[in-house]
Amino acid sequence: MSVDLERKLQNKVLHWLIDKEKDGGLGYTYLGNLEDQDNTPVKEDLLKKNLEKRGYTKDQISKAVNELVTKASNQVDSLYQTNKEVYSLLRYGKQGVKDDNKNRQTVHYIDWDNVENNDFYVAEEVSVLCFNQIERKRPDVVLYINGIALGVFELKRSCVSIGEGIRQNLTNQKKEYIQPFFSTVQLIFAGNEAEGLKYGTTETAEKYFLKWKEDIKATDDLSATIKDIQSKEKNKLRDAIVSLCQKERFLSLIYDFIIFDAGVKKVTRHNQYFANIAARKRIIEKEGGIIWNTQGSGKSLIMVWLAKWIIENLADSRVVIITDRDELDDQIESLFIDVNEKVKRAKSCSDLREILNKNDDSIICSLIHKYGHNAGKQSDVDQYRKELLKDLPADFKAKGNIIAFIDECHRTNSGKLHEAVKVLMPEAVLIGFTGTPLLKKDKKTSLETFGSYIHTYKFDEGVEDGVVLDLRYEARDVDQDLSNKEKVDLWFDNKTFGLTERAKTNLKQSWTSINKLYSSRQRLEKIAGDIIFDMNLKPRLKNERGTAMLVANSIYEACRYWDIFTSNGFNRCAVVTSYEPSAASVRTATSDLCICQLKVPLYYR
């Protein structure tokens, strides 16, 4: 019975893929049931047929096909390394030797620019021989472009979790099973009609498999085409298959939105994809704007994919990535290095001007305070501008078609300091990135500086998609009882002798009195004891799931919390603050809100 249900679902999925586009299908060609064959990831006859159709010579075709088959058959290197080499060959093509005119003819296995020049196939029950040459594995559905296996499906009946399909795919990728078949595969799917579809790429861990969601605000032509196909039949599994496997979208995802990041292959989330697509249009039109994607949703990878597209598609283009903190500068530089993108890091203000005055480096990373003479200090911004203008060489001109990414644009970058950027790069398109909601006082300035929102992916959307964890708030009152009110009043009158009644009243209402009361060790120990009690009692806390914050009223109070926790043997906590000590801050200190970060999802007040 279960086999019949999965067979019915498989037939349904095949129809969605095979039916003509005018009938609501995706127009793939059906290769048949391949369970009686020994299948490899490259069907050489189909690949040769397509390359011949596109005008390559027999010699070029023979060399290109041999190169791909050899790389795909590599069983010495890891799957990550083999897949990376195959991906590079598929994306950039096989270069031939130079001809008499010193030109190289490149054989492109896939025509990335013209969808219609490619042959899209689908096959079912694709039997592959295991490493031991005895057993077999059979992926349910395989997608081919020009005979190259690029997508693999495992489908389950509705009463079976798609997690089982994900685990089945992961098992198949092990060396003892059919790992070589995945050497060319770029997208991996698991789905049923109850849960829909999840997708990942080779060696993606189960917890990182993603669900796709079309952006209702997207205005590009491809999104409109996909939404039109989806409207012909309501089915969550079908919707996801249309979104990810529509021919043009399938090519786009593979060509522009796969990355090999320091040993981990990654594929785009839907918010990263639509942010990139929306930003492309703005950049082409020479308009800036703000990309607001919530923290934890992969903002840095949006930068990487967008920078790569800019460099590859816009003439004389350069990307300048500007941050306002050293740790962000380090993080972004490291990420680009991890994905094999060459980055030039400006070491000083003069170094930055020198880099911009030449056209040698395509991607530049720098701290925004390096634009100023008094780098890193809170000097008047007008003075920054004067110093910049005074120090700039007479013949200075930032070279190239510059697109500037301003990270964390809700902070200092969205104030007057952005003027320094415009002095150095007056013709640059500014794209602001933030993962933090813009406060009312910053919103107007940020929008005036960068332009309107290019794309938004807010916290609640990230929680709904499972990309970020929800914040849970649990308020608890800690009673503060005075044992002798009359004695306290007598003490107060004695200490305020000589003040007017109005001054006394104002003093009583002052928050500083409450602050001292709240910071009493007895109260803090009561809160800490309550938290430690929960840690040892509630299952979700004993299992150390998630992190949380205990918000303190001051740095002093947070440090006292830390001391109380550690003295009780609870060491998994830290004090987190953005406070920067200075003489001025000591003189003007009132209350510096601070966070004591714990492995416990509770807040106290």
Which conformational region is residue 376 in: left (phi greater than 0), alpha (psi within -120 to 50 degrees), or beta? left
Which one, of 285, 281, 292, lies nearest residue 437 by Cα?
292
What is d(CA 324, CA 344) in angstroms, rounded to the nearest whole number?
A: 17
What is d(CA 58, CA 64) in angstroms, rounded to the nearest whole number?
A: 10
Q: Is the dihedral of CA 156, 158, 161, 162 positive or negative?
A: positive
CA 526 to chain centre: 41
What is d(CA 99, CA 10) in angstroms, rounded to the nearest whole number?
A: 49
Which one, of 90, 109, 92, 94, lies nearest residue 52 by Cα?
109
Phi, psi of 10 (to 5 degrees): -60, -40
Q: What is the CA radius of gyration of the chain?
A: 30
Instruction: Identify how many contiguous H helices and E strands the chain contains and give both numbers.
Output: 23, 22
Largest CA distance in the chain: 104
Residue 460's pLDDT is 75
Q: What would the DSSP string read from start to end of 161-216?
A: -HHHHHHHHHHHTSTTTTGGGGGS--EEEEEETTTEEEEE-TT--GGG-B-----T
Q: Give the Cα-Cα-Cα angle 486, 488, 493 (nearest 5 degrees).
A: 95
Phi, psi of 229 (to 5 degrees): -65, -40
Residue 592's pLDDT is 47
Which one, of 86, 91, 84, lies nearest residue 338 by Cα?
84
Domains for the chain: give ranges and CATH numbers: 2-41+119-265 (3.90.1570.50), 268-465 (3.40.50.300), 521-598 (no CATH)
Q: Is the dihedral of CA 580, 586, 592, 597 positive or negative?
A: positive
Residue 379's pLDDT is 47
What is d(CA 91, CA 112) in angstroms, rounded to the nearest whole number?
A: 8
Residue 600's pLDDT is 42
What 3-state DSSP class applies to 500?
coil
Mean pLDDT by 10 residues, the chain (605 residues): 79 94 91 94 97 94 96 93 96 80 85 97 96 93 97 94 96 96 97 95 95 93 94 94 97 95 92 95 91 80 91 91 68 72 79 84 75 45 55 78 80 56 83 70 59 82 71 63 61 75 73 51 79 70 64 82 84 74 50 51 38
What is d(CA 293, CA 433) in angstroms, rounded to the nearest whole number?
A: 8
CB atoms within 10 A of CB 182: 27
What is d(CA 51, CA 108) in angstroms, rounded to the nearest whole number?
A: 8
CB atoms within 10 A of CB 497: 7
Sequence-distant (6+) residues with CB within 8 A of 578 are: none
Question: Alpha helix locations (H) across 73-158?
Answer: 79-92
Residue 484's pLDDT is 57
Residue 595's pLDDT is 57
Residue 6's pLDDT is 85
Q: Is 251 exposed, middle or buried (0-12, 13-18, 19+ CB in 10 A)?
A: buried
Query: Residues 113, 251: contact at Cβ < 8 Å?
Result: no
> Both tokens of residue 300?
């840095």
CA distances from 558 to 28, 518, 524 (A): 61, 12, 10
